[in-house]
Amino acid sequence: MQPIDVQSVQAALERFVGDDVYLHLETTNGAYAAHRFGQPMAVCAYIRNGLVKFERAQIAGTRPYRVGLKMASGWIYAEGLTDYEVDGEGRLLLAGHDSEGRLAVALQLSRTPWPMGVLDEEKEVE
């Protein structure tokens, strides 16, 4: 991934507007946040392969960035985004990393379902 370039990410987001899109949305402070890092609790939420459609997409802020996706009846939101990548399959990956490179938040958009595991991909190849 590379540091977010606002214009590139804005253009990438807009390519998904109006279509059925598979969403990966995630935030985490680490499974050992409470055990080893002195925080009150480990917090994590993720959706993998939520099928969504949005009518407006906007990146905002200065590093780190926020992204809001406006749906007909709701919002998708992520804060703390630092890096992005459009991979070889045209999927948009956005992530927020802390100073030690650990992922804290991710928002990813794809026209095809996100794989559920490397083993699944192998089955498809067979």
Partner 1 sequence: MGNVEKTRHLLLVFPHPDDESFGKAGTVILFTKAGTPATLICGTLGEMGRNMGNPTFANRETLPSIRRRELEDACRALGVDDLRLLGLRDKTVEFEDPERVADRIEAVIREVKPSILMTYYPKYGVHPDHDAMSHAAVIAVKRLPKEERPVIWGSAVVNDAESILGEPDFVLDVSSVLDEKMAAMRAHKSQYQGMFSRMEEALAQGGAVRDEVLQQLTRERFWIYRIED
Chain residues in the site for partner 1 (CB under 8 A) = 1, 24, 26, 28, 30-32, 35, 44, 46, 83, 85, 87, 91, 93, 95, 97, 100-104, 106, 108, 114-120
Q: Indicate the SS3 state at residue 87.
A: coil
Quote the CA–CA distance of 45 and 58 in Å, as a whole number: 22
Which C-beta is closer to partner 1: that of 48 or that of 70? 48
Which C-beta is closer to partner 1: that of 24 or that of 65? 24
Amino acid letter for position 88 = G
119 Cβ contact partners less than 8 Å away, ≥ 6 residues apart: none
Least Å distance, CB 83 to partner 1, is 8
